[in-house]
Structure 1
Amino acid sequence: MRSRRNKAGSIGGALAAGLLAALLAAPPAAAQETPAPVLNAGNRLLQFDWPAIKIGTGEYEEGPTGVTVFHFDRRSLAAVDVRGGGPGTVNTDYLRLGYDAPELDTVVFAGGSWYGLEATTAVASALKEDGIRGGHWDNIALSVGAIIYDLGGRRLNELVPDKRLAQAAFRAAKPGVFPLGAQGAGRLAVTGSLFGCNAYSGQGGAFRQIGPVKVAAFVVVNALGVVTTRDGKVAACYGDEGWPKDLTTAALLAGYPASRKPGWTGAPNADAPARNTTVSLVVTNQKLKPAELQRLAIQVHSSMGRALQPFATEFDGDVLYAVSTGELEDEAAMLPTVDLGVIGGEAMWDAILASVPDQPKPATPAAKPVLPADKLAALAGDYVFSPFVTVKVTAEGDALYAQATGARAAFAIGREERTELKPVSATDFMVPGRYPLTLRFDGSGRLVLNPGHWEQAGTRQGD
């Protein structure tokens, strides 16, 4: 998904290029140094028996951001269905021509918005560099891909998946293992922004086998809408004060547009429209004709509107690739294509649910000051997170304050005025609110915001 508009208005290509140039030219801060790829990370795994599909993930923890690569051991037939109003893709026009020759090598999903499209062509280059493909007209690598938007206010830097990360993920790919949750291309995905939920999301997968027929669904969920469970509840959301406890998607939609605004209490709105970003892949081993594979893509993509609500909005970039590896050629063992679509749709809903990681638990502020004034004063300084974000920490008596002094805010720490930091422990402080912010001073001149899987680290100037 790309972000076409935000509170600051549209960002044109020239401005985006200028920001990227500034990022590359700026002196390296802690979060801007050349990052090291982290490959195939994650403890929650989908494991399945299908040697024809190899999967590799790569992440830059300093972003965080990442890439997910699907490599097929034989050239496969592919189709694509694009729904969102802000897609970012590679080689979809070629797939739409509907040739019946299997030519696909890889599918690549990445963060980084349009900048992340480099990952797709990088994998094609790796296929050539590794001698798997070459330069003859009938041996050109075909890599297709799609991206999600994981920049902007959700992190304090502009690191993006690049050639180095994508090729490392491709070369680390292995069969039968797919990391679930906030890993790979879903490393900094979020859902529910339309309603202010801003819940952490990720990538999910599911596998089905009926006799010899295999169907797998993979998805990176970065939707404007909310993930909906099979009983109609919102899977993850940072709800506003006064929201119903057992929040349902139906209630959010019925209350729209009031449910987008502070102070909504769950009351329905008579004039609410119902309408969502997600990049996904459905794979079957059953040999299909191009028209059948296209219909599978359409059927499964349409079914995703049950799990993501709203779906395919103007601000989403929903793209689904459908792939037939063609391993199963025995017509007597095949399933009707309608059945394949139903099975694929159910697997995709399970994959979407599997994408939701455990949400971080907010810290609890202490009832009284934890550190004496001299210890608080030792924490003061300017902490640089990126060329765009610096946080100035000051101490007054037994209170600690923070203010963003760079070009951008740092989550709940704004630029206009100081924010008081509530003590939690000798190292941790917090800013309460709908999106609670935890700050950790690690004793080595580093300030870590939201320590844990989604942390952002800054270094104090002069240390």
Structure 2
Amino acid sequence: MRNLITDVSGVRVGQAEDLALGSGVTAIVFDRPAVASVDVRGGAPGTRETDLLQPERLVEAVDAIVLSGGSAFGLDAAAGAMACLAEAGRGFAVGPMRVPIVPAAILFDLLNGGDKAWGRYPPYRDLGFEATRAAGADFALGTAGAGTGATTATWKGGLGSASARAGGFTVGAIVAVNALGSATVADGPHFWAAPWEQADEFGGLGLPQPFPADAHRPQTKSRRLENTTIALVATDAVLTKAQARHLAVMAQDGLARALHPVHTPLDGDTVFAAATGHRPLADPVHDMIAIGSAAAATLARACARAVHEARPLPQPGSQPAWRDRFVGG
């Protein structure tokens, strides 16, 4: 177990970023089409092909899911992923043509000091192609991929991942944390997700003792439009689209455990869920409870790891990182 979403059989991850741009792309590629759905809770989402993921829609499975910076410009990253997959012969068969199915979600990182003067065409199509082509078992956390330009109310945001076993199944999560709120309690080093931490993966600090009197006072960004946390949870179970949809619903609790406040009108919080279909359910009800519970806990852990592993961008005045303040670099 790498403690990454790629511990789920049939899942690979690739990333591409540009530190001068202050943005990047993460592509989650499935070895074979995976059943998928989505749950959107934030008030300001930016998405592509999410209607297709509703249980009643025609297409049952997707080839990849893309998470990107760049706000609406970043939706171009899915086109780059499609181009890469089409070159490999992947996609939904329509007569002699194959159309890769690539849902996507974006976060807002346009005001983080990076060079966004890209001219007529934004770079996200090329970044999406590069990220998809680079897909493999290992990938960087923190200031990488879709988390490159991410921020939170207190510390630099980033890209996080985690995995777990649940009743014979493997569950993994990947997330780009760019929240209006904070992943840490008040002004200290302790993560809201501490009760679900495993093996000191984000410092092993637990919750603060005593709990700060102002801990529940919402901390939010001063420039409040630069938000949205986007994520995918995956399992090796065999699920229907309706079951994948409910998995995404349960997994949203992971954001609520790790970020405060969350699902605000200024966030576009979106969680995809995918099933690679390697292990059938023995008991559809109780197995789904186990998988969904693990998905929420794993996503909470991934959120904390995103902030724990992040490094500042090289631009002057960029947001400081948790590691710089509490570990010393």
Q: Which runs of 5+ in 2 are unaligned?
A: 193-207, 321-329
Confirm or deny: 8 A CA contact 1:277 1:311 kept in the other structure: no
Q: Output the CA distance in 2 between the equivalents of 1:315 and 1:247.
A: 31
Call closer, same or farther: CA 1:191–1:330 in 2, change over 3 Å: closer
In the alignment, the residues of structure 2 paired with residue 260 and residue 214 of structure 1 have an alpha-carbon distance, to the nearest angstrom, of: 35
Conserved 8 A contact 2:9-2:278: no
Q: Which moved more, 1:332-341 or 1:120-129?
A: 332-341
Mapped pair 1:72 → 2:30: yes
Number of the residue aligned with 1:181: 142
Q: Could you tell me which amino acid in structure 1 is paired with residue 290 of structure 2?
A: D
2:133 to 155, 171, 182: 171
Distance 1:350 1:191 in 2: 16
Q: Could you tell me how far 1:358 is from its partner in structure 2? A: 5.5
Residue 68 of structure 2 corresponds to residue 110 of structure 1: yes
Name the residue aligned to 2:45. Answer: 87
Task: Give 1:185's aligned amino acid.
Answer: A
3-state secondary structure, aligned to 1:104 = strand
In the TM superposition, what is the alpha-carbon distance from 1:299 to its structure 2 partner? 1.1
Identity of aligned residues (%): 32
**Superposed displacement of residue 289, structure 1:** 2.3
How far residue 360 of structure 1 moved from its aligned partner, in angstroms, is 6.6
* Residue of 261, 269, 276 corresponding to 1:325: 276
Give secondary structure in 1 for the equivalent of 2:143: coil
Q: Using the TM superposition, give the Cα deviation of residue 246 of structure 1 relative to its aligned residue in structure 2, in angstroms.
A: 8.8
Gaps of 5+ in 1: 1-43, 237-244, 262-275, 362-384, 386-409, 413-434, 437-463
Question: How many angstroms apart in 2 are the aligned matches of 1:46 and 1:298?
Answer: 21
Match of 1:9 in 2: none
Q: Partners in 1 of 2:280 and 2:210 — Cα distance?
A: 46
- Could you say if the C-alpha distance between residues 87 and 49 of structure 1 is closer, same or farther in structure 2, counting changes exceeding 3 Å? closer
Structure 1 pair 359–286 and aligned structure 2 pair: CA distance change class (3 A): closer
Equivalent residue number for residue 459 of structure 1 = none
Runs of 4+ in 1 over 3 A off after TM superposition: 44-51, 97-102, 153-161, 232-236, 245-250, 332-335, 357-361
Q: Which has the greater radius of gyration?
A: 1
2:324 aligned residue:
none
Q: How far 1:293 moved relative to its partner?
A: 1.6
8 Å Cα contact 1:110-1:161 kept in structure 2: no
**Counterpart of 1:297 in 2: which secondary structure?**
helix
Aligned to 2:163: 207
Q: Is the 8 A contact 2:166 2:294 kept in 1?
A: no
Q: Aligned partners of 2:271 and 2:21: how far apart in 1? A: 26
Q: CA 1:120–1:101 in 2, change beyond 3 Å: closer, same or farther?
A: closer
Secondary structure of residue in 2 paired with 1:106: strand
Cα 1:253–1:116, aligned 2, differ >3 Å: closer, same or farther? same
Post-superposition offset of 1:45: 8.1
- Identify if the C-alpha distance between structure 1 residues 164 and 155 changes in structure 2 by more than 3 Å, giving closer, same or farther: closer
**2:8–2:172: 8 Å Cα contact kept in structure 1?**
no
Match of 2:182 in 1: 226
Given the two structures, how large is their TM-score scaled by the length of structure 2? Answer: 0.78
Aligned pair 1:350/2:301, yes or no? Answer: yes
Number of matched pairs: 293
Match of residue 444 from structure 1: none
Higher RCO (CA 8 Å, separation ≥ 6 residues)? 2
Counterpart position of 1:98:
56
